[in-house]
Amino acid sequence: MDRPEDVKKQPRPSPGIYCFMDVVAREAEEYAKNHTSPMSELLEEIERFSLTSTAYPSMLTGRVEGRFLYFIVELLGARRIVDIGTFTGYSALAMAEASGADAQVVTIEKNPRFAQIARDFFDRSPVGAKITIRNGEALEILASLPEGETDLVFIDGDKREYGAYYRQAMRILRTGGLVIADNVLWYGKIFHPEDDDSRAVAAFNEVVNRDPGAERLFLSLRDGIYLIRKKAV
């Protein structure tokens, strides 16, 4: 039996998230994927490529979140979309496929190698012409976008910049527009943040939660998704 001093030495599980993430989540994740409509052939190919041929498979959005983005874009009728963090192009292409013929998706990526991989995939898509890849620092590119004209911003870049992305996102969004921020549970590390990324995501969540200009829904889907609507103030 553990003595109290041994118990104290054990790593502290993040309260609440422990059962969900460690016991249920892996199986639930697979189950959710198998009960979600497959994406297009090309998106399924991007998923396979990202999982097998890149060093960062966990960065991929994937089918469940991809279908979530697809539904939101379709239901919102989003036409001006900004995607922060392209990687291999999955979220940008999912949103482009869901949007109307006159829609535009700007996707931002600082790594030229990822930007090229995504470009090669977009070139093979019938909706690829809707997507513009902006290769560079997300904050610089966001600062160059006009105020109040964007319908949807998907935040999935550098976790330490989430707060700054949010300020820019709220500036460029029209009233009623949406921010969707990925990884807001950050593997449960937000409950006891011990590194810069975790502290930044936890701080971002608090900023959003206190923002009087934001109507918000925190979803514990996958690694956490914050759905935020810009209110009229």
Ligand X SMILES: C[S@@+](CC[C@H](N)C(=O)[O-])C[C@H]1O[C@@H](n2cnc3c(N)ncnc32)[C@H](O)[C@@H]1O
SS3 category, 81: strand
Residue 215, classed as helix, strand or coil, is strand
Instruction: Quote the least distance from Cβ 84 to ligand X, whole Å.
Output: 7
Nearer to ligand X, 3 or 113 (CB): 113
List residues binding ligand X (CB under 6 A).
59-61, 85-88, 90-91, 108-111, 114, 137-138, 156-158, 161
CB of 27 to ligand X, least distance (A): 23
CB of 37 to ligand X, least distance (A): 17
Q: What is the DSSP letter of 162?
A: H
CB of 79 to ligand X, least distance (A): 20
In the bound complex, what is the minimum distance in angstroms from residue 188's beta carbon to ligand X? 17
Cβ closest to ligand X, residue 17 vs residue 96: 96
Q: In the numeric block, which tokens belong to residue 91?
A: 């979220």
Q: Report helix, strand or coil for 122.
A: helix
CA angle in degrees (0–180, nearest 5) for 44-123-157: 65
Quick one: which H or E segment has residue 154?
Answer: strand 150-155
For ligand X, the closer CB: 59 or 227: 59
Q: Output 88 or 205, the one with its CB closest to ligand X.
A: 88
Cβ–Cβ < 8 Å for 219, 226: yes
Q: Considering beta carbons, is residue 17 or 93 the nearer one to ligand X?
A: 93
When CB distances to ligand X are compared, the closest residue is 85
Q: Name the residue nearer to ligand X (CB basis): 87 or 122.
A: 87
Q: How far is the CB of 138 from ligand X (least distance, A)?
A: 3
The DSSP string of 87-154 is TTSHHHHHHHHHS-TT-EEEEEES-HHHHHHHHHHHHTSTTGGGEEEEES-HHHHHHTSPTT-EEEEE
- Rounded Cα gap, residues 128 and 220, in angstroms: 31
- Measured from the CB atom, the residue of 108 and 127 that comes closer to ligand X is 108
- Phi-psi sector, 77: left (phi>0), alpha (psi -120 to 50), beta: left
24 secondary structure, DSSP code: I
Provide, rounded to whole angstroms, the least separation between the CB of residue 160 and ligand X. 9
